[in-house]
């Protein structure tokens, strides 16, 4: 197959979507397929085979996420407008418009990977003085309309499929969880704690996330404040536009046992999971959150909200806990961090559950879907 993937984010940008598309490209190429990525220019980009860069603007809010300008040059458009069997796009709005144009010129189907709860995500950044409800409804209408123009839609979880079909998506929808290869970490917890200057005697709650408003990290910090005690640490791994504000919040609450590790290279992220004891994730707007499977693969029980993504992977009471309120989130952190036997039991089940979601299985399902869509 000859696949043209269109995305608004790609490495060296570091986020779940960009890394997943890079991994898919590598896996499809191993299977003999042509996989061309159309992505925005990035200040730190390096030239790569079959990665075509479009103009972009600096993103003042998230510098690592340049704003794509989906306007190929005449030579780029000539290269991209013929010879592909399928267009595979990862964002709505102007990215989707370009995808439909290129699908038409290639006379091929278009598949939309629906990564985000777009209305919730976008309205989290909108000032409350604006008509948030009307904007949210407009976003839902636009995304649904473009999903219905696609030949097929991919989502990562059953709960996301339920949400988008309730909003009016009538195109065929397949559930294919994103996955990765989760290599075992050979280093001991003692050596990893020493590397990151973290005390071996403490129980570490870890959150791996972009530090931005839509991730609901204020709620986690405030919940942790309610149960903070000696011997308990909350560590954040990641960077983002809210880094300074969240650190100020922790200082304001006198939480000296919150540590911000900063940006962790993707090649090292598994060892950060391996040094922790519990994974905590407060986001309400994800559709999967690959960090949940990453943490489970290292045997971390997960505490999260009962929301799309976490509720599709976490077995409540067996591999972690799903909270419905901030107070419950705090209580589950307190219970799990103070009961070693429960922590051990949930840890073992979490790691076992993660084995159900292999990268090979994810690529197999995507490859089969693409072939069926092309043959129709």
| pLDDT of the residue at 123 | 66
Q: pLDDT by residue (tens digit) across 113-164?
A: 999 888 877 766 667 667 888 888 999 999 999 999 999 999 999 999 999 9
**Domain coordinates of the chain in residue numbers?**
2-179+358-375, 189-354
Q: Would you place residue 372 in the very low, low, confident or very high pLDDT band (cuts 50, 70, 90)?
A: very high
CATH C-level class of 2-179+358-375: alpha beta
Q: Which pair of tokens denotes residue 291? A: 């960090």
Give the β-pairing of 67-68 and 56-57. antiparallel
Which stretch of 31-45, 129-143, 265-279, 361-375 has the lowest confidence by average pLDDT? 129-143
More confident residue, 150 or 266: 150
Name the one residue in this structure whose structure tokens are 């996330």: 209
- CATH 3.40.50.2000, applies to 189-354: yes
User: Are 17 and 359 contacting, i.e. CB atoms less than 8 angstroms apart?
Assistant: no
CB atoms within 10 A of CB 375: 8
CA distance 46 to 23: 17
pTM of this prediction?
0.94
Q: Which pair of tokens denotes residue 90? A: 């990862």
CA distance 321 to 109: 41
Q: 3-state SS of 330-373?
A: HHHHHHHHHCHHHHHHHHHHHHHHHCCCCHHHHHHHHHHHHHHH
The answer on pLDDT for 46 being more than 80 is yes
Q: Could you check whether 2-179+358-375 and 189-354 share the same CATH topology?
A: yes
Q: Which pair of tokens denotes residue 301? A: 């029980």
| pLDDT of the residue at 206 | 98
User: How far apart are the two ends of the chain, measured CA to CA in Å?
Assistant: 14
Q: Which pair of tokens denotes residue 75? A: 């030579």
Q: Which pair of tokens denotes residue 340? A: 């070693």
């Amino acid at each position: 197959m000859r696949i043209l993937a269109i995305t608004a984010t790609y490495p060296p940008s570091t986020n779940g979507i960009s890394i997943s598309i890079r991994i898919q490209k590598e896996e499809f190429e191993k299977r003999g397929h042509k996989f061309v990525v159309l992505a925005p220019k990035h200040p730190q980009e390096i030239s790569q085979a079959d990665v075509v860069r479009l103009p972009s603007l600096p993103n003042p809010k998230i510098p690592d996420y340049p704003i794509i300008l989906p306007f190929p040059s005449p030579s780029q458009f000539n290269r991209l407008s013929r010879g592909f069997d399928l267009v595979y796009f990862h964002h709505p709005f102007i990215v989707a418009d370009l995808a439909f144009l290129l699908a038409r010129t290639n006379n091929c189907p278009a598949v939309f990977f629906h990564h985000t709860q777009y209305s919730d995500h976008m309205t989290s950044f909108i000032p409350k003085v604006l008509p948030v409800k009307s904007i949210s409804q407009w976003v839902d209408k636009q995304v649904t309309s473009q999903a219905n123009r696609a030949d097929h839609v991919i989502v990562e979880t059953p709960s996301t499929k339920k949400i988008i079909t309730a909003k009016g998506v009538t195109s065929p929808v397949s559930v294919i969880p994103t996955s990765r290869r989760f290599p075992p970490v050979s280093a001991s917890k003692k050596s990893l704690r020493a590397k990151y200057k973290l005390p071996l005697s403490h129980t570490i709650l870890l959150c791996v996330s972009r530090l931005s408003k839509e991730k609901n990290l204020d709620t986690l910090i405030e919940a942790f404040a309610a149960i903070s005690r000696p011997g308990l640490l909350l560590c954040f791994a990641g960077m983002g536009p809210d880094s300074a504000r969240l650190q100020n919040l922790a200082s304001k609450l006198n939480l000296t046992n919150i540590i911000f590790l900063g940006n962790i290279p993707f090649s090292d992220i598994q060892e950060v999971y391996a040094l922790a004891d519990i994974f905590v994730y407060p986001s309400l707007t994800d559709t999967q959150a690959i960090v949940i499977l990453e943490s489970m693969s290292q045997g971390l029980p997960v505490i999260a909200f009962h929301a799309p993504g976490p509720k599709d992977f976490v077995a409540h009471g067996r591999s972690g806990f799903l909270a419905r309120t901030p107070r419950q989130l705090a209580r589950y952190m307190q219970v799990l961090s103070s009961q070693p036997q429960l922590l051990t039991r949930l840890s073992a089940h979490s790691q076992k559950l993660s084995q159900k979601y292999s990268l090979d299985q994810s690529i197999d399902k995507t490859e089969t879907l693409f072939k069926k869509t092309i043959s129709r």
